[in-house]
């Protein structure tokens, strides 16, 4: 069972990260800091023309002058003030998180059971995490933290409390944006989630079970994990996998790289497994957040096909049931077409085997999903299929994913 949550909590005992350079108290602070192994910065291209200024990558801040500083301490001291606790309340029966799994423990996210209220509409309280992405008070968090809530309260690290207004939620990606009325707030620096590689450091900050600004450390275990791999096939995300400890009550907390830049938003763990946590890549979260801020809703490119990765076993099982046997040995088999969908309008048919999209070879259904979800609504794709042994190329214009999907 997959549990959507966030990250935070204490460091796991078996994964204490030792300081890379123990500094002598007799050495000067400046000499000590030069010995700290800080990973070098890489060049990153940011499309600032289409992104708000507060989503642009900011220059590195100077290292805090801490006698026993290492890169983890530096990252946490820089980002910590921008990590917030989110207190939410809602009436019983309006829990957005129920959409992910009907078997969630009642209090896994900090939402307790019904209280003894005299009226017939008891409420439940819950907490989550989030992080400030603009000095004007825009906060990024998970959709299931604030979806269908009646009240949202934001608590800053310095103790200030604000009433939060939910600008929009997107259950397809589990992204939401909250706005508070404040200025000159500390905000995070955005990193490049497209350049992550397994083995890189991963630092998570959050508020597990009310323990504010707790830090856990691990590595990037993998990137591009499909929603099917993670166990949430209704989501449209290529997840980051990390072994940084994930704990209840931390939904929406940031995942940082060694430079203190946000590369993901922690969102999920797999129950019963250790060292398996997942985060939404910050690039995808940015794209959704910009739509939510502008219009209050998000659009998702969609074709309208049911598909399966073609394999010898699939081919052997399906051929007896088809009027025209499958000729291809590899590709993605179109099993069904949604009536009225872009796929139907373009001429795609059940039995077609997708070979290429925009000249890119595809061999798995996850690859098709990844290509489509990275498109904007209304974009055109060249889809090459094998139909009854003949190659056919079709132009397919993506539509907007209907609400019922």
Give the catalytic positions in this structure.
Answer: 144, 174, 251
**Integer CA distances (angstroms), 112 to 84, 116, 153, in order:** 21, 12, 17
Q: In which element (H, E) is residue 216 found?
A: strand 214-225
Listed in sequence order, the residues at least 6 apart from 372 whose beta carbon sits closer than 8 Å to its beta carbon are 301, 302, 303, 381, 398
In order, the DSSP letters of 12-51 are PGGG----SSPPPTTS-HHHHHTTS-PPPP------TTSS
Burial class (CB in 10 A: 0-12, 13-18, 19+), 81: middle
Report whether 74 contacts 260 (CB < 8 A): yes
In order, the DSSP letters of 356-381 are EETTEE--SHHHHHHHHHTSPTT-EE
**Integer CA distances (angstroms), 98 to 4, 81, 92, 109, 113, in order:** 10, 31, 11, 11, 14
Could you give the dihedral angle defined by the CA atoms of residues 150, 236, 129 and 132, in that order, rounded to the nearest 10 degrees?
Answer: -100
Looking at residue 6, the DSSP 8-state letter turns out to be E
Listed in sequence order, the residues at least 6 apart from 304 whose beta carbon sits closer than 8 Å to its beta carbon are 337, 338, 340, 341, 342, 343, 344, 399
d(CA 233, CA 237) in angstroms, rounded, equals: 9
Report whether 351 contacts 334 (CB < 8 A): yes
Report whether 242 contacts 218 (CB < 8 A): yes
Report whether 143 contacts 177 (CB < 8 A): no
Q: Specify the residue for token string 């990765």.
A: 309
d(CA 158, CA 214) in angstroms, rounded, equals: 15
d(CA 233, CA 247) in angstroms, rounded, equals: 22
Q: What token pair was written down for 333?
A: 């088999």
């Amino acid at each position: 069972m997959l549990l959507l949550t966030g990250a935070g909590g204490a460091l796991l005992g078996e994964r204490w990260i030792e300081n890379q350079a123990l500094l002598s108290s007799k050495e000067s602070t400046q000499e000590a800091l030069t010995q700290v192994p800080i990973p070098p910065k890489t060049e990153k291209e940011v499309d600032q023309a289409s992104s708000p200024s507060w989503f642009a990558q900011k220059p590195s801040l100077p290292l805090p002058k801490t006698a026993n500083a290492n890169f983890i301490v530096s990252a946490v001291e820089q980002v910590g003030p921008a990590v917030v606790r989110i207190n939410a309340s809602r009436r019983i029966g309006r829990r957005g998180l129920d959409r992910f799994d009907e078997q969630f423990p009642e209090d896994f996210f900090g939402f307790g059971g019904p209280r003894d209220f005299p009226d017939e509409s008891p409420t439940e309280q819950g907490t989550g995490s989030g992080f400030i992405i603009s000095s004007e008070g825009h906060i990024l968090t998970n959709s299931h933290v604030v979806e269908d809530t009646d009240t949202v309260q934001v608590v800053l690290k310095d103790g200030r409390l604000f009433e939060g207004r939910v600008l929009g939620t997107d259950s397809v990606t589990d992204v939401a944006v909250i706005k508070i009325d404040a200025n000159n707030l500390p905000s995070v620096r955005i990193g490049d989630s497209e350049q992550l590689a397994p083995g890189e450091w991963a630092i998570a900050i959050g508020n597990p079970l009310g323990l504010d600004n707790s830090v856990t450390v691990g590595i990037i275990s993998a990137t591009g994990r499909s929603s099917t791999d993670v166990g949430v096939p209704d989501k449209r995300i290529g997840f980051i996998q990390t072994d940084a400890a994930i704990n209840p009550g931390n939904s929406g907390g940031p995942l940082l790289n060694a430079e203190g830049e946000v590369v993901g938003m922690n969102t999920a763990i797999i129950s019963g497994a250790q060292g398996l946590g997942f985060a939404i890549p910050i690039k995808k979260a940015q794209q959704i957040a910009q739509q939510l801020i502008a219009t209050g809703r998000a659009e998702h490119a969609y074709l309208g096909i049911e598909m399966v990765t073609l394999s010898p076993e699939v081919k052997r099982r399906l051929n007896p049931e088809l009027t025209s046997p499958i000729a291809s040995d590899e590709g993605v088999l179109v099993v069904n077409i949604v009536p009225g969908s872009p796929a139907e309008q373009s001429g795609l048919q059940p039995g077609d085997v997708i070979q290429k999209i925009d000249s890119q070879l595809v061999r798995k259904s996850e690859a098709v999903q990844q290509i489509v979800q990275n498109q904007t609504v209304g974009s055109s794709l060249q889809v090459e299929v094998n139909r009854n042994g003949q190659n056919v190329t079709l132009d397919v214009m993506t539509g907007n994913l209907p609400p019922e999907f």
